[in-house]
Structure 1
């Protein structure tokens, strides 16, 4: 982190011993250790908060992109059933507003299946 060699560290310890004195070194080291611990905790808390904000911003950006795509496609919300054909030529579903017949009716099947159904008696 600081790129301190062994010789440089020895010089720092000798200067600290001369300045502070041998009796005060243990309390000084405890104070430095506590301060470093607090700095590390504060840094970790800040990094966690920053990452949370970044994730929320990414999530919001994703939601904004989805909203922009929905607006561009012309739908502002959930799809609504259409009762008029897209070309405007009459009703696309039953006139009484009932839901259309489910797929799989005889008219929806290919001709070969209709022929098999006729031979097997409608099963």
Structure 2
């Protein structure tokens, strides 16, 4: 039960630390949405350069943009900036710590009190 308390304490700490995170999470979501829009737009541009729109934008990935180096670099920078924002890194770090505690203490899902 001490392990369960430690995990619950960590979950409480996690919740307190990240209560104000919703605005920052929304900013990250907006950045991801913008990235998706830019990918679709770049897909259209690449398709136009190739002389048609035979490529479906849903099948377009970053790999196919590699023949347009400057756009590829720009999209990659946006993607990295979203992933490297401190709130996102902090969130993943906290989740990783909680998961590690659960595995190290051998705690089952039913032992953890839900928030």
Higher Rg: 1
- TM exceeding 0.5: no
| Range into which the TM-score falls when normalised by the shorter chain | under 0.3
TM-score normalised over the length of structure 2 = 0.23
More relative contact order, 1 or 2 (CA 8 Å, 6+ apart): 2
Q: Return the structure number with greater helix share.
A: 2
